[in-house]
Amino acid sequence: MDGSNGFPAELVYSIALHLQPIDLASLALVSRLHSAEAVRVLYRAVIISSPFSVNAFDRTICEHADKANLVVSLDVALENCDFQLAPLQRLRFLSAYLVGRLVCLDSLLGVQNDQLESLQLRSHFTRTLDGPQHVALARFLHRQARIRHLMLDITIPMAHDWAKTSFDNSHLPALQSLDSHLYDITALAPGRAKHSIRVRTYLNREYLDRFLRACTSNSMRSLTLRAREYRLNRPNDGDLATLSQVFTPLPNLEVFTIEYGEMLLEKEVLDTLPNALSWPAAPQLRDFRIAFKSGYVKTTRGYAAAGTVIFSKWRAAGAPKLEKVVIGVEGGDSCCITADGSSSGRFPFMVVP
């Protein structure tokens, strides 16, 4: 253990983990030891958010292999840019954007085989891959047998032969969490035990049946489904009632989230929401969440009223382990109902046990 002024390197590193970048820069001026530990933290998880930072980062990792080997996580929060990945031999977590074209595909090809553990390919808008793009991405994923968490914000034209044959359940053997559209899920899910799935496709009855046939797994603990339709006049005949059917083939679900991506949370919705569920048997369920796109309701009082009814009825009817019901707007005001009462605030809707 090398130290400076009596501080071991491990202690300096532990402190540096809790500092902001501007404070890390000050820490680096104290001594060589402090500088080394500050640099370790600065390059451990890198976020690129401007064209200038892309060029500076590429230049640094190409000219300084020691700094390139410190990078474990890279988040390229920038659209329409290419970036270097080949020098990052210890990279395990990668997040990047897909916009217009598959801009990061050439960069991805620089990643070594079996290197990544987590990959997020995001987009502000739904992206559809053409044949060459899809095949290139599929070949890249085939080489990443260590990926445990995968998010693909894309869709694939299912009618094409190249789409039907690119994936199967022998690929990505370590996969535990999948956040993607229906095609990727039905292609990758059969025969494997995933703990968490989020479906980006809107699920009607037909799509739900297709999903459940592919994803039956007694080990699945967290599931997030998207719904488009909520029928005010017949709430028990809409998507919410349909999606509650998942508990028959997935009895061990602990966290279940329904996202209404195109639905506003209005008073009329809150008034009928408790009647839209069929209260299925959910023996392991402990966390149920309903997220709406946005809402006209100005107070969370209505959220609490609807959530309290759902909590009490479902817990009594078929979910004895239910601990929490959350209703609200994604990224906005929400209400959390527990056995001890209700509380308002902003609650995350993506939960992985």
Higher pLDDT, 231 or 30: 30
- Highest-scoring range by mean pLDDT, 69-83, 165-179, 181-195, 274-288: 274-288
Q: Are strands 222-227 and 255-265 parallel, antiparallel or unpaired?
A: parallel
Higher pLDDT, 167 or 73: 73
Q: Supply φ then ψ for residue 10, to 5 degrees.
A: -60, -35
What pLDDT is stored for residue 213 in this prediction?
79
- How sure is the predictor about 156, in pLDDT bands with cuts at 50, 70 and 90? low
The residue among 66, 74, 20 whose CA lies nearest residue 45 is: 74
Positive/negative CA dihedral, 65, 55, 76, 22? positive
Which segments within the chain are labelled E, that is strand? 3-4, 7-8, 45-48, 73-76, 93-97, 118-122, 127-128, 149-152, 154-155, 177-180, 196-202, 222-227, 255-265, 287-295, 324-329, 334-338, 341-345
Write down the architecture of domain 193-353 according to CATH.
Alpha-Beta Horseshoe (3.80)
d(CA 204, CA 227): 7
What spatial distance separates the first Cα and last Cα of the chain, rounded to whole Å?
A: 37
What pLDDT is stored for residue 101 in this prediction?
47
The residue among 202, 116, 113 whose CA lies nearest residue 151 is: 116
Higher pLDDT, 217 or 65: 65
- Highest-scoring range by mean pLDDT, 109-113, 196-200, 323-327: 323-327
What pLDDT is stored for residue 228 in this prediction?
67
The residue among 78, 83, 80, 82 whose CA lies nearest residue 101 is: 80
Higher pLDDT, 281 or 39: 281
Instruction: Write down the domain spans for the chain.
Output: 1-44, 49-189, 193-353
Is the model's pLDDT at 200 over the cut of 70?
Answer: yes
Whole-number CA gyration radius for the chain: 23
- Highest-scoring range by mean pLDDT, 146-160, 239-253, 278-292: 278-292
Question: What tens digit of pLDDT does each residue of 64-112 get?
Answer: 888 888 899 998 877 666 677 878 888 999 988 765 444 566 677 778 8
Is the model's pLDDT at 236 over the cut of 70?
Answer: no
- How sure is the predictor about 352, in pLDDT bands with cuts at 50, 70 and 90? very low
The region of weakest confidence among 87-91, 99-103, 155-159, 183-187 is 99-103
Question: What tens digit of pLDDT does each residue of 299-316 get?
Answer: 667 788 888 888 998 998
Is the model's pLDDT at 353 over the cut of 50?
Answer: no
Question: What tens digit of pLDDT does each residue of 276-297 get?
Answer: 777 888 999 999 988 887 766 5
What pLDDT is stored for residue 67 in this prediction?
85
What pLDDT is stored for residue 146 in this prediction?
92
